[in-house]
Every structure is written in structure tokens, then in C-alpha cells.
Amino acid sequence: MIEVVYPEAMKALKQEYSSSSRNYYFFHYKIVDRFIRCNFGENDLLRYDIEYGTMNMEQVRCPLRQICKNENVICNPSMSTDKETQVAKLYAHGLSQQEIADVLHKSSCTVNAQLYNLKQRLNLKSSHEIIKLFNNGSNNKIQIRRAEEY
């Protein structure tokens, strides 16, 4: 899930722990362990940090805050900018499939296919889970203008 939703963070983590890459399980353990320590804290009111495919991330205490070379890459990562993610972010912010198609100059069938592909890739069961994932998982606020404004 880290690789799909946060590819830049995964790339940085793989590079960070490349010396352990010969041991597949230990390598992936270190990647997931670091991602969890950097993005999931103990001060939230949520019962689970990962629930129904949604990562409930938060700002955690870190002595390296603002001097870490991986801040905003591994810690507080932003989601990927591929086309499916762009469509999902617009969908999560309340735009209909037709409005997304108008904004991105695509057909509504393309938008529908991209949302479907994203659901399959992330193993989500419904469009509601896309909305939860992209509203809770993203620290970036997106400025969206409705299709009528374009």
C-alpha cells in the first residue's frame, strides 16, 4: 500500500535501507517499520491507525523535525501525482465523475475506468473507501475549482 499510495516515500525508503535488500523480509520490515514510526503516533483519538484500507496518519514527535533530509518524503509524504490519484483526489473532494471529466478534459468513461482501476489496485471494495483514503491519507490540501469555473 505504501508503494501504491506514496511511491516517492517508498523510493526513498528503499534507497535508505538498500544495504539490507539481500534479505527480502528484513528489508521490507525495515521499510514498513520506518514508515510507521514516522507517520503514526500515539496521541490520536482513532482506535486503529490503519482501518479498512485507510491510513490515519498524523504528525508525530521527532527530534529531527525540520532538519531531516526525508521530511515531507518519508515523514508527512504526499500522495503520488499519477492520473488515477489526481482523479481520486477530485472525487474525494466531492466532484462528480462528469465534473472531473470536464475539469481534466477527459471523457467520463475514462474517469470511471481510472477510479475502477484504483479501487482494484488498492483492493478497495467501494467508492466510499476511495473518499476515506484520499481525505484521511493526504496531508496536502487541494485547491479545486468546480467545472463551471474553468
pLDDT tens per residue, range 29-81: 999 988 888 887 666 555 666 665 566 666 677 767 777 787 778 877 766 55
CB hemisphere CA count around 63 (13 angstroms): 0
Asked whether residue 141 carries a pLDDT value surpassing 70, the answer given is: no
> Which sequence spans correspond to the domains of the chain?
2-55, 83-149
Q: Tell me which range, 18-32, 40-54, 129-143, is most confidently predicted by mean pLDDT.
A: 18-32
Please state whether the predicted TM-score (pTM) of the whole model is above 0.75. no
CATH topology of domain 83-149: Arc Repressor Mutant, subunit A (1.10.10)
Q: Is 90 exposed, middle or buried (0-12, 13-18, 19+ CB in 10 A)?
A: buried
